[in-house]
A and B are shown apart, each in its own frame.
Chain A
Amino acid sequence: GQQLNQSPQSMFIQEGEDVSMNCTSSSIFNTWLWYKQDPGEGPVLLIALYKAGELTSNGRLTAQFGITRKDSFLNISASIPSDVGIYFCAGQIVMDSNYQLIWGAGTKLIIKP
């Protein structure tokens, strides 16, 4: 089936550092989404990207939809303790005439004390 390769699997950073993570695929997607999951909660949408090359910001978060439509990255600037969690990318495809999401395995962000 379709797969998204998300990296890195985990990141240990100091508070205040910038963070970068990305997703790649051999398939083309119509839409790229970035979600965050806090412990014990469901994922929450952070940023949605709809056009190849699109660069979108949401506060300290910036994400880009790759030109080839096969990749996307998410940057977090000046990390703070509440940024801890698991970040997922998801690509939207049409399957059986319906839109579905294919998910990356997640990047776990840990902030070193």
Chain B
Amino acid sequence: NAGVTQTPKFRVLKTGQSMTLLCAQDMNHEYMYWYRQDPGMGLRLIHYSVGEGTTAKGEVPDGYNVSRLKKQNFLLGLESAAPSQTSVYFCASSYSGLHTQYFGPGTRLTVL
């Protein structure tokens, strides 16, 4: 049981490049989340999904897109990376909105 896994662990992009972060969970959770973590700030919700085929905007969605084509996967896309998107990105999943969120190990993204 791997829990929540994230790919890649580290990435460096140039401004304007695009990339996709992959999150996978093997706990059959309905809910999945993408957060970003910046120094001195709490986690901020980017987008989330309450089930396969659904997505919704969180607190800071601009510049990001997501897709949940399969229940176990939640993809976060950056179409045109900007330096302001330099951050550590965490994926989480939960059985429902009321249940504990389990986090992946994070992806450290640097945009030059």
Most buried by A among B41, B58, B92, B101: B101
Tell me, in angstroms, the Cα distance from A65 to B58 when the chains sit together: 25
Residue ranges of B at the interface with A (Cβ–Cβ < 8 Å): 4, 40-45, 48, 50, 56, 58-59, 90, 92, 96-98, 100-101, 103-106
Report B50 CB to chain A, min CB distance, Å.
6
Q: Contacting B92 at CB < 8 Å: which of A6, A42, A92, A99?
A: A42
Bound state CA distance, A44 and B56, in angstroms?
24
Residues of A near B98 (CB, < 8 A) are 31, 92, 99
Say whether chain A's binding surface is mostly helix, strand, loop, or mixed. Answer: strand
The reply to whether A88 and B105 form a contact with Cβ atoms under 8 Å apart is: no
Q: What would 15 more interface pairs be, CB under 8 Å, given A41-B103, A100-B48, A101-B43?
A: A4-B42, A42-B4, A42-B90, A42-B92, A42-B103, A42-B106, A43-B103, A45-B101, A88-B43, A92-B98, A98-B48, A98-B56, A101-B101, A103-B42, A105-B42
- With A41-B105, A45-B100, A100-B58 as known contacts, state yes or no: A105 contacts B92, CB within 8 Å: no
User: Would you list 20 pairs from A and B whose C-beta atoms are within 8 A, ordered by A residue?
Assistant: A6-B42, A9-B40, A40-B105, A41-B103, A41-B106, A42-B105, A42-B106, A43-B43, A43-B90, A45-B101, A48-B100, A98-B48, A98-B50, A98-B97, A99-B97, A99-B98, A101-B43, A101-B45, A101-B101, A103-B43
